[in-house]
């Protein structure tokens, strides 16, 4: 068939279409959770633990209860017989772990600084806050567990006594399913290390940091006997929250509706777990028969969520003198915090971080294991680059150290060892479906022009200026396949979308995921517009409401560009089949869907372009005038499609940066940041660029500025933005993006989901550049955060004879 | 309690309010102007609550409502006098200067004031001008680009007005 496409028609895929959601957002008309008003709403404020580990010996509510305007106060003791405790199957992974038992309010003892102890419900938020200060809690302090290595020792205090240990999770990821196979694999790896010409062995430490959406969390629950519970939650996975609320509060599922507001102020993983606050606010609304609202303060947010990355990785790499990687050995220890967060329990992030550790390199052999320790800190929360920010920092740093030992350009060593034939299954059994890693890498290296840089570097050094170049790369998940998501989170991975045409030829799309700024309304409209040959303005997208959308596991793991838009495209194509079947019948021609073109608001028979219908007319005819139809056809145009690729899918990126280090102060400046990515076919380049910019700057901000600090009593010292510093516009560089795309062969549009894993290659690339600048001093940095003071100390040590 | 009189987005209000009520809460809860956001919960760091007080960009979480007595307040809902998009708002749409949009009203209010004082800003000046606004989504790249574009649009429209 020849292509008869009108050259003047607009191809919506790949267009830099300005976003549809912006009009309301730039005029202050967005509706975020805190903007939703239900008359008569009561306000909730939590009383939170002042200690990291202590028995609760008494709670005196008398003063708070007598305050005018206070409606109710809940404590762990008065809810524990009325609410099912966690864990519950819907939010418990199919992974062997010691899941702690807990209620939304502390029962018996507190296990971290900031844990909810009591909940005040009042008519006004100022009164609720006043009353919360009148609650007197008596504590009996217990020894605190803060160091993950000590936590794993036999004589450590145990945080959750029923488990008898702080080891919440451990696993070996290489060698096979059973212990015998894993041990024999480890023995083979050990043998390689014994005879390898080059071995680098280091301990890498990454600090506690993560993501902090600008909109904190919030819950607004409404109850009536007839409809049941309506819960507005800042959440990335409303359908999972619905099932969890139903199970925990024993409300029959048809009486639970969860709505993630259309506008959410960022998620980045932080709004993906099922949180205890959801349970108690829903319980309060049901008990009181009145709407109840909790809006998290920034202080509470920084005390409780957005903390990840806290790992030690003892890593060893064996190589030969030509720069071939021979084996990888890594023993990880992760500081889990208390582990009382639904879906993730803290350890799910380091679990995936270990699986993703091998990255894009061909490892003939590897031994990778992980132990995760419970401590008296806030539970790890998923944060973009889920689990593998620490392992990738360690790996990318360690590879540079191997290159330094051999005397080779680190970028060349990387290229020599990149996976060059896809599909590929990694040493941890992760499946890489498609792409061209070398194309991505070579695009970056060409832009970086290393030989020119080395000349510039040596000239700079003559002027006593220290500049350096650093590289990093990352294989990232493009959506999370059921193969991985069922064991990891006890949830399906498929994408789901309903596409509904109306008699005026307009389109509604319904998705069960719940975005927080990724631009779903625009990119989805571009996909629909492209499929039907109509204007994206005619497409309206609804997400996040369990009352109207098909089941989806949530806006997680770059599922939009991979799974969700694929389901949208499949649903459109199902409708196109029906439209063309009926149109062919009306036109009295023998033709199938592929003989028609949907373009510029028309459906045209390619064999004779005079035979056509306007899109609106045929749609109206099928929905409103379903008479004289072909046999076995009925009217109506509405389709729900589920998409799942046969195997997991990935995307691949590489980063390069140039820095200048001030040798006197240890301060450094990022002079250039270049990035390449295989994003597959692009729906909207502006949106894709925005995802990359954001992720890269989050990586820089995490690596350099942010750190959650606990003192030796487990007191969290960084619960405000003065002390937990995020990068400002003046702190970060511009970013130079180059695409090196290969269409994904496993999605209907050739798209890949991108953006989720992106921050992970940043700290390695950045630290590699700083170390490269300091080559004359032979400095190797193995810890984050990357701060001027720690660099200065390294410089002083290196200068000592 | 105190009686205050003020003008918000050109409309006159007289309200009886609690002395301790923050200006941001007054705007959001009493006047239902929910485009002004709370991001750092009253630390004055994130800038999501930025408004104009007598034309100057200020953080409304750092003021009591009673301090606005007798003053002229503009919020994001009143940024455009004619109800359409200002050049600045249009530039943010054109250049994808926002993702989740939570910080955006505060950034727009701050940058509207900034561009009045700095009609020809350099990239460095824009980045420094944005220090009082935190954005977690965009990495600031497109925000900087949008502000640059807005400056050019404003200059071009001023030029057209003269000719």
Distance CA A285, CA A222 (A): 6
Please say if the pLDDT value at position A324 is more than 70.
Answer: yes
CB A35 within 8 A of CB A86: no
Question: Mutate which of B137, B138, B143, B144 to disrupt the A interface (most A C-beta within 10 Å)?
Answer: B137
CB A307 within 8 A of CB A209: yes
B119-144 pLDDT, tens per residue? Answer: 999 999 999 999 999 999 999 999 99
Torsion angle in degrees (nearest 10) through CA of A172, A178, A184, A190:
0
Closest CA to A244 of A124, A84, A361: A84
Homologous superfamily assigned to A49-142: Aldehyde oxidase/xanthine dehydrogenase, a/b hammerhead (3.90.1170.50)
CB B60 within 8 A of CB B23: yes
Interface of B with A in 41-80 (CB under 8 A): 41, 43, 45-46, 48, 75-77, 79-80
pLDDT at residue B159, rounded to an integer:
81
- Contact between chains at B136 and A214 (C-beta distance less than 8 A): yes
Q: What is the largest CA-CA distance in chain B?
A: 53
Please say if the pLDDT value at position A3 is more than 70.
Answer: no
H or E element, residue A475? strand A466-477
Q: Give chain B positions within 8 Å (CB) of A734.
A: 123, 141, 144
Please say if the pLDDT value at position A461 is more than 90.
Answer: yes
pLDDT at residue A707, rounded to an integer:
98
Is A311-482+647-799 in the same CATH topology as A49-142? no
pLDDT at residue A10, rounded to an integer:
53
Quote the mean pLDDT of chain A: 96
Residue B50 in tokens:
């930025």
B23-61 pLDDT, tens per residue? Answer: 999 999 999 999 999 999 999 999 999 999 999 999 999
Q: What percent of chain A has pLDDT over 70?
A: 99
| E strand residue ranges, B1-64 | 2-8, 11-17, 50-53, 56-59
A107-142 pLDDT, tens per residue? Answer: 999 999 999 999 999 999 999 999 999 999 999 999
Region A311-482+647-799: CATH code: 3.30.365.10
Interface of B with A in 86-125 (CB under 8 A): 89, 92-96, 98-105, 108, 123
pLDDT at residue A9, rounded to an integer:
46
Please say if the pLDDT value at position A5 is more than 70.
Answer: no
Average pLDDT over every residue of A705-719: 98
- Contact between chains at B100 and A22 (C-beta distance less than 8 A): no
CA angle B98, A36, B132 (to 5 degrees): 35
Please say if the pLDDT value at position A4 is more than 50.
Answer: no
Q: Give chain A positions within 8 Å (CB) of B79.
A: 27-28
- At residue A11 the predicted structure's pLDDT band, cuts being 50, 70 and 90, is confident
- Contact between chains at B99 and A266 (C-beta distance less than 8 A): yes
Task: Determine the distance in angstroms separating the CA of A515 from the nearest CA of chain B, rounded to an integer.
Answer: 9
Cβ atoms within 10 Å, residue A449:
12
Average pLDDT over every residue of A11-17: 92
Please say if the pLDDT value at position A146 is more than 80.
Answer: yes
Domain boundaries, chain A: 22-29+494-643, 49-142, 311-482+647-799
Domains of chain B: 2-78 (3.10.20.30), 87-162 (1.10.150.120)
Concatenate the DSSP letters of all residues of A311-341 into one string: EEEEEEEEE-TTS-EEEEEEEEEEEEET---
DSSP type of residue A545 = B
pLDDT at residue A145, rounded to an integer:
98
pLDDT at residue B15, rounded to an integer:
95
Average pLDDT over every residue of A150-176: 97
- At residue A577 the predicted structure's pLDDT band, cuts being 50, 70 and 90, is very high
Q: What is the largest CA-CA distance in chain A?
A: 94
Using CB atoms within 10 Å of the CB of residue A50, give its burial: 0 to 12 exposed, 13 to 18 middle, 19+ buried: middle
Please say if the pLDDT value at position A176 is more than 90.
Answer: yes
pLDDT at residue A45, rounded to an integer:
98
Pick the CATH number of A22-29+494-643 from 3.40.720.10, 3.40.50.2300, 3.30.365.10, 3.40.640.10: 3.30.365.10
Half-sphere exposure for A242 (CA within 13 Å, toward CB): 29
Q: What percent of chain A has pLDDT over 90?
A: 97
Please say if the pLDDT value at position A226 is more than 80.
Answer: yes
């Amino acid at each position: 068939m020849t292509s008869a496409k009108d050259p003047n028609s607009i191809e919506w895929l790949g267009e830099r279409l300005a976003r549809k959601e912006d009009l309301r957002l730039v005029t202050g008309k967005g509706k975020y959770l805190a903007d939703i008003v239900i008359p008569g709403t009561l306000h909730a404020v939590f009383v939170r633990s002042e200690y990291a580990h202590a028995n609760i010996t008494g709670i005196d509510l008398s003063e708070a209860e007598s305050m005018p305007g206070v409606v109710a106060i809940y404590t762990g003791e008065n809810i524990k017989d009325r609410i099912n405790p966690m864990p519950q199957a819907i939010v418990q992974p199919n992974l062997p772990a010691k899941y702690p038992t807990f209620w939304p309010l502390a029962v018996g003892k507190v296990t971290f600084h900031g844990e909810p102890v009591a909940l005040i419900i009042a008519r006004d938020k100022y009164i609720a806050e006043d009353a919360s200060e009148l609650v007197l809690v008596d504590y009996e302090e217990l020894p605190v567990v803060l160091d993950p290595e000590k936590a794993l020792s036999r004589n450590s205090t145990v945080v959750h006594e029923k488990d008898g240990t702080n080891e919440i999770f451990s696993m070996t990821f290489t060698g096979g399913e059973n212990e015998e196979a894993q041990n024999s694999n480890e023995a083979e790896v050990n043998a390689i290390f014994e005879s390898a010409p080059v071995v680098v062995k280091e301990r890498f430490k990454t600090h506690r940091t993560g993501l902090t959406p600008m909109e904190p969390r919030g819950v607004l629950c409404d109850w009536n006997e007839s409809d049941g519970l309506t819960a507005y939650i800042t959440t990335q996975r409303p359908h999972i929250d619905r099932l969890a609320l139903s199970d925990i509060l024993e409300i029959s599922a048809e009486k639970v509706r969860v709505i993630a507001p259309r506008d959410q102020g960022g998620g980045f993983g932080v709004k993906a777990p099922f949180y205890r606050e959801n349970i108690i606010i829903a319980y309060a609304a049901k008990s009181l028969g009145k709407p109840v609202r909790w809006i998290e303060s920034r202080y509470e947010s920084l005390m409780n969520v957005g903390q990840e990355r806290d790992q030690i990785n003892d890593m060893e790499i064996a190589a030969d003198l030509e720069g071939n990687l021979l084996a990888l050995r890594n023993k990880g220890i992760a500081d889990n915090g208390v582990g009382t967060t639904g879906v993730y329990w803290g350890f799910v992030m380091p679990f995936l971080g270990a699986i993703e550790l091998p990255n894009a390199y061909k490892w003939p052999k590897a031994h990778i294991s992980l132990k995760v320790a419970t401590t008296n800190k806030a539970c790890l929360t998923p944060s973009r680059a889920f689990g593998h920010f620490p392992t990738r920092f360690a790996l990318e740093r360690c590879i540079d150290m191997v290159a330094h030992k051999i005397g080779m350009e680190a970028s060349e060593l990387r290229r020599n060892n990149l996976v060059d034939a896809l599909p590929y299954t990694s040493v941890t059994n992760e499946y890489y479906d498609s792409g061209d890693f070398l194309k991505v890498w070579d695009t970056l290296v060409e832009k970086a022009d290393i030989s020119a840089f080395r000349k510039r570097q040596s000239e700079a050094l003559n002027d006593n200026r220290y500049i350096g170049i650093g590289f990093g790369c990352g294989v990232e998940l493009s959506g999370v396949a059921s193969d991985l998501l069922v064991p990891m989170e006890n949830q399906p991975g498929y994408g789901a979308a309903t596409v509904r045409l109306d008699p005026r030829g307009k389109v509604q799309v319904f998705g069960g995921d719940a975005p927080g700024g990724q631009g779903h309304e625009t990119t989805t409209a571009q996909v629909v517009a492209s499929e039907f040959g109509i204007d994206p303005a005619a497409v309206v997208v609804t997400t996040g409401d369990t009352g109207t959308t098909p089941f989806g596991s949530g806006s997680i793991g770059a599922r939009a560009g991979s799974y969700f838009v694929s389901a949208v495209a499949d649903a459109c194509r199902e409708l196109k089949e029906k439209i063309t079947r009926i149109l062919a019948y009306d036109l009295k021609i023998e033709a199938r869907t592929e003989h028609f073109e949907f373009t510029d608001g028309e459906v045209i028979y390619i064999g004779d372009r005079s035979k056509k219908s306007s899109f609106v007319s045929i749609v109206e005819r099928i929905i409103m005038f379903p008479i004289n139809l072909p046999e076995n056809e009925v009217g109506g145009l509405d389709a729900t499609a589920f998409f799942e690729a046969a195997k997991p899918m990935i995307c691949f990126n590489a980063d390069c940066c140039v820095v200048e280090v001030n040798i006197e102060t240890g301060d450094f400046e990022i002079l250039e940041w270049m990035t390449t990515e295989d994003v597959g076919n692009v729906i909207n380049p502006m949106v894709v660029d925005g995802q990359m910019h954001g992720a890269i700057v989050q990586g820089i901000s995490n690596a350099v500025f942010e750190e959650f600090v606990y003192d030796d009593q487990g007191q969290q010292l960084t619960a405000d933005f003065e002390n937990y510093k995020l990068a400002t516009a003046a702190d970060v560089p511009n970013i130079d993006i180059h695409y090196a795309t290969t269409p994904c062969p496993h999605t209907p549009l050739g798209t890949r989901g991108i953006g989720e894993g992106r921050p992970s290659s940043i700290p390695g690339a950045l630290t590699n550049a700083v170390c490269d600048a300091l080559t004359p001093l032979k400095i190797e940095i193995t810890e984050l955060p990357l701060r001027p003071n720690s660099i200065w100390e390294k410089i002083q040590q290196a200068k000592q004879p | 309690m105190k009686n205050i009189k003020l003008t918000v987005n050109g409309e006159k209000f007289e309200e009886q309010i609690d002395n301790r009520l923050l200006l941001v809460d007054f705007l959001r809860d009493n006047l239902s102007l929910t485009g002004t956001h709370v991001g750092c919960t009253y630390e004055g760091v994130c800038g999501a609550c930025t408004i104009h007080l007598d034309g100057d960009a200020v953080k409304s979480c750092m003021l009591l409502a009673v301090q606005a007595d007798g003053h002229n307040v503009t919020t994001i809902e009143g940024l455009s006098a004619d109800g359409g998009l200002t050049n600045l708002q249009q530039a943010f749409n054109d250049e994808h200067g926002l993702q989740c949009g939570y910080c955006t009203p505060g950034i727009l209010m701050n940058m509207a004031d900034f561009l009045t004082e700095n009609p020809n800003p350099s990239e460095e000046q824009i980045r420094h001008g944005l220090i009082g606004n935190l954005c977690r989504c965009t990495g600031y790249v497109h925000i900087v680009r949008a502000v640059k574009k807005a400056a050019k649009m404003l200059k071009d429209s001023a030029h057209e007005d003269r000719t």
